[in-house]
Amino acid sequence: MSDSNRLRIAIQKSGRLSDDSIALLKAIGVKLQIRDRLLIAHATNLPIDLLRVRDDDIPGLVMDGVVDLGFIGENELEEKMLERQASGKKFEFKTLRRLDYGGCRLSIAVPNEFNYQGVQSLEGKKVATTYPFLLERFFKENNVNASAVMLTGSVEVAPRAGVADAICDLVSTGATLEANGLQEEEEIFQSKAVLIQRAGELPEAKAQLVSRFLPRIDGVMQAKE
Ligand code: ATP
Ligand code: ZN
């Protein structure tokens, strides 16, 4: 265990949010020495430890109060919130900043040959996704009886594999959909990376560190505009 006086920040170990999150920490003055294999990275100039994990684990680490802060995509955060709500677990946190990276949308896409006429076309269909709670909320809001088929990867090949009729997946450019003969039909959630903090008060020294960082984050984002 690392020292509890150090601010603990959860960050995606490797993936689409890693480089931008690390670049942001460096830009606000956190000096980091990251060794690829290690779970923990210590800042060399400040009392900060980074916990490097899969992005799926970050909402839970923050909501369980295991870490103080986390960088996470809103899609994953909202999904885990719904999941924890459904199973009666705590799901409180504070959003400190919405960031300027990690932009994407969660969309329903259907095979090109699917005669899509609006959400009602999904009635009775199976939709493959990594985000079953967000998808089921969309079905409910739109009064559609369809089922979410949970897949943790290769969602875009599910229709071709005969596993589902349609998919609900993250899209940024749309190139992956096109390459798989899929047509984007419904955008159900828009996402960016956010910096979140656990519920409850942070000890004074940590709170001061965080309040020094926030204006710097704003400055870094403004400079990029
Ligand atoms: P991990 O191994 O950490 O579980 P992952 O495969 O779930 O990684 P990534 O593909 O690295 O995750 O995506 C992490 C986050 O990046 C997404 O949850 C989303 O918020 C954001 N993102 C931005 N653009 C895209 C995109 N085009 N496709 C997928 N995710 C995107
Ligand atoms: Zn993930």
Angle at 158 between CA 154 and CA 162, to 5 degrees: 150
Which one-letter DSSP state was computed for residue 145? -
What is residue 202's predicted lDDT score, i.e. its pLDDT?
A: 97
Confidence of residue 3 (pLDDT cuts 50, 70, 90): low
Q: Provide the token pair at 18.
A: 């890693």
User: Is residue 140 in contact with ligand 1, taking CB distance under 6 Å?
Assistant: no
What would the two tokens of residue 61 be? 């680490």
CATH number for 158? 3.40.190.10
Q: What is the mean pLDDT of the chain?
A: 96
Indicate whether residue 216 lines ligand 1 (CB < 6 A): no
Residue 199 has pLDDT above 90, yes or no: yes
* Alpha-carbon span 30 to 42, nearest angstrom: 10
Give the least confident one: 1-5, 156-160, 201-205: 1-5
Domain-located, residue 156: yes
**Residue type, position 61, single letter:** L
Tokens of 64: 């369980």
73 lines ligand 1 (CB under 6 A): yes
Q: Which residue's alpha carbon is at the smallest distance from atom 21 of ligand 1?
A: 102
Residue 1 pLDDT: 47
- Residue 1 maps to a domain: no
| Same domain assignment for residues 130 and 82 | no
User: What residues make up the domain containing 120?
Assistant: 104-190
- The answer on pLDDT for 129 being more than 60 is yes
* Distance separating alpha carbons of residues 204 and 222, to the nearest angstrom: 28
Whether residue 48 lies inside any domain: the answer is: yes
- pLDDT-wise least confident of 35-44, 91-100, 202-211: 35-44
Total length of the chain = 225
Q: How far is CA 172 from the centre of its chain?
A: 14
Residue among 16, 98, 155, 184 whose CB has most ligand 1 atoms within 8 A, to mutate:
16
Average pLDDT over residues 79-96: 98
Q: What is the per-residue pLDDT across 51-63, written as a single tens digit (0 to 9) for each?
A: 999 999 999 999 9
Query: Measured from the CA of 55, which atom of ligand 1 is nearest?
Result: 3
Tell me how many domains the chain contains. Answer: 2
Burial class (CB in 10 A: 0-12, 13-18, 19+), 63: buried
Of 36-45, 69-78, 195-204, the range with the lowest mean pLDDT is 36-45
Q: Which pLDDT score is estimated for 76?
A: 98
Mutate to test the pocket of ligand 1, among 99, 106, 170 (most ligand atoms within 8 A of CB): 170
Based on C-alpha coordinates, what's the Rg of the chain? 19
Of all residues in the chain, the percent with pLDDT exceeding 70 is 99
E strands present in 147-211: 147-150, 166-171, 182-191, 193-198
